[in-house]
Amino acid sequence: MSLSNTHVLVAQVVSLFDMQFSQDCYHSGICGEFKPFIDAGKPVFIADDQAFSQSLCNQATASGYTLWFSSPTQDGTINQPCH
């Protein structure tokens, strides 16, 4: 079961969920709130509506998060993951 877009409850409920899903947490500045999931060995998946950014990919990788971008690229590709 996934906790979705609820950063204020993470510390209280991390043990009850298998993973965290967040949309645009880099834009809102709350991605750091999901560290308890990583500390518990649970995945954090982030979808971002902005254009692909290698800088954000680097941040996500360093934090242990899986990030992909859902904004269409010039060639029409949608849901571009970090590599």
Per-residue pLDDT at 1: 86
DSSP label of 17: -
Closest CA to 25 of 80, 75, 74, 68: 68
Per-residue pLDDT at 18: 96
CA distance 53 to 50: 8
Query: Where exactly are the structural domains of the chain?
Result: 2-8+18-81
Both tokens of 37, joined, read 């999931």
Interacting residues of 19 by C-beta distance below 8 A, sequence separation 6+: 2, 3, 37, 42, 43, 44, 45
pTM of the model: 0.86
Per-residue pLDDT at 77: 67
Tens of pLDDT, residue by residue, the chain (83 residues)? 898 878 888 999 999 999 999 998 998 899 999 999 999 999 999 999 888 899 999 999 999 999 998 876 667 667 788 97
